[in-house]
Amino acid sequence: MSSNRDPPDGGGTVTETLTTYGTNLISNRSRPEEENQVEEAELKYGASHVIHLFVPVSLCMALVVFTMNTITFYSQNNGRHLLYTPFVKETDSIVEKGLMSLGNALVMLCVVVFMTVLLIVFYKYKFYKLIHGWLIISSFLLLFLFTTIYVQEVLKSFDVSPSAVTILFALGNYGVLGMMCIHWKGPLRLQQFYLITMSALMALVFIKYLPEWTVWFVLFVISVWDLVAVLTPKGPLRYLVETAQERNEPIFPALIYSSGVLYPYVLVTALENPEESRTTSEQPATTEAAPSTSAGNTGFAPGLQSDSKRTAVKRIPQKVQVEEAPPAARNQPQNVRIERRTPAVQLEHLNYPRHDDYQEERGVKLGLGDFIFYSVLLGKASSYFDWNTTIACYVAILIGLCFTLVLLAVFKRALPALPISIFSGLIFYFCTRWIITPFVTFVSQNSFLY
């Protein structure tokens, strides 16, 4: 078996024993056949997870589009801007606008790079508590502050006015439940719901506070950064992946969305002796603590599950400027990994008893940064109230996601999920906006077709 498919740790030697045992069992059959079957099973397994990822991505995007269309608050700038997009002078000259947007995008990129490096330094020197604290603060802010603002705008839009007592009570409940679901234990669906809503909120904040042209430049630049950071040998995210792999640990309570398919870790552990199985049954404690990360790291970057959003302290936007640090999720979680259940697939035929205690979540995981940027793209496209562009971008993003997941199944390593989708989304957006829509308008006005 290739090293990618090593079963998760239960201890180094045990792993090796099991691996060897597994291999021995299979070597009886003809190798290429068995390999083919395994490949096929993996691809099918991967394909079902493509579908599993479509739903949350679509839901997040739908939420953003719906909000953009019904609540005008998020499509207006109100003259405020983020600290990280300093060039906001009003001009009519295209060249100036272009240069300013490029400047803004580069400033954002620098901030993102800085945050990534900071995170890697923390991770390298094992300041886990600091990272945990950072995550907790950022999700706290998102859950309470941003949600309050959102609820306020929704109430204004729908012309409803409950009492402050009710609203604050409800928001407090919502926030506490969110913290519990994300950082501790909670029903899977609820956790997924919270992650989706947080991503949507984040995307809405971006759409609101980034100037017009800057959004497109930022998307482009961040996708390029993602590509570079994950794939180049010296890339920071790759370093993160490899370090996490070496250490064999999932650390952060992930702000990574998992399709959440749980498989009993099963067949490999069933072959262990009873002492081992008792020790591995302690592991679920850590699994539970980090529900959307896999306890054992099947050769893929579990550390990337740590990739999470970093939001620094955000001041209440009453002043002229809204300060906000971009989430780290932009850089890190833009990777998609698939956890292999290869050992289970191979040994399943042999009907080993299941060891139910040891759980592991397997499945495709997509970082929240990916959700956010897809939603930003689509939300911005829909803010011009042209359904042609919105739907074209949506289809482009999903196709890009499919393609990325296919590549994932082929290459079997952490891949950046942003570039393909964002590039195709951008191409489709501009083509549709400048070519298709005028064409369709002209044709329908002159009654050629419609």
Partner 1 sequence: MDISKLTDVKKVDLCKKYFLIGACFLPLIWVVNSFWFFSDAFCKPVNNHRRQIRKYVIGSIIGSIFWIIVLCSWEIFFQYYRSQGLVWTDFLTFVFPTGRV
Element (H or E) spanning 372, and its range?
Answer: helix 368-382
Using CB under 8 A, which of the segments 31-39, 166-174, 204-212, 295-303 binds partner 1? 166-174
Tokens of 55: 């739903």
User: Among 53-61, 92-100, 167-175, 341-349, which window interacts with partner 1 (CB under 8 A)?
Assistant: 167-175
CB 182 within 8 A of CB 309: no
Contacts of 443 (CB under 8 A, 6+ apart): 449, 450
Question: Shortest approach of partner 1 to residue 188 CB, angstroms?
Answer: 6
Binding of residue 316 to partner 1 (CB under 8 A) = no
Told to judge if 356 belongs to the known catalytic residues of this protein, a careful annotator would answer no
Identify the residue among 8, 236, 253, 291 touching partner 1 (CB under 8 A). 291
Here's the x/- map for partner 1, 138-157, by CB under 8 A: it reads as --------------x--xxx
Q: How far is the CB of 185 from partner 1 (least distance, A)?
A: 5
- Hey, what amino acid is at 434? W
Site size with partner 1, rule: CB under 8 A: 39
SS3 (DSSP) at 366: strand
282 binds partner 1 (CB under 8 A): no
Report the b/e string of 99-126 with b at 16+ CB within 10 A: ebbbebbebbbebbeebbeebbeebeee
Query: What are the residues whose beta carbons fall under 8 Å from the beta carbon of 155, sequence distance 6 or more?
Result: 161, 162, 167
Nearer to partner 1, 157 or 444 (CB): 157
Q: Which stretch binds partner 1 (CB under 8 A): 36-44, 175-183, 226-234, 362-370?
A: 175-183
318 binds partner 1 (CB under 8 A): no
Residues in the chain: 450
**Under rule CB under 8 A, residue 169 binds partner 1:** yes
- Comparing C-alpha atoms, which of 152, 169, 192 is closest to residue 53? 192
With residue 397 as reference, give the H or E element that holds it. helix 387-411
Among 33, 90, 92, 159, binds partner 1 (CB under 8 A): 159
128 torsion bin: left (phi>0), alpha (psi -120 to 50), beta (else): alpha
The structure tokens listed for 291 are 């529900």
- The catalytic position among 6, 92, 226, 356 is 226
Of 307, 357, 370, 386, the active-site residue reads 370
Site for partner 1 in 189-208 (CB under 8 A): 190-191
Among 294, 342, 359, 389, binds partner 1 (CB under 8 A): 359
Q: What is the largest CA-CA distance in the chain?
A: 80
Kindly provide the residue ranges of all beta strands, DSSP E only, lying in 250-338, ordered along the sequence: 256-258, 261-264, 335-338
> Catalytic residue numbers?
226, 370
Residues forming the site for partner 1 (CB under 8 A): 152, 155-170, 172-174, 176-177, 180, 185-188, 190-191, 260, 262, 264, 284, 287-288, 291, 356-357, 359
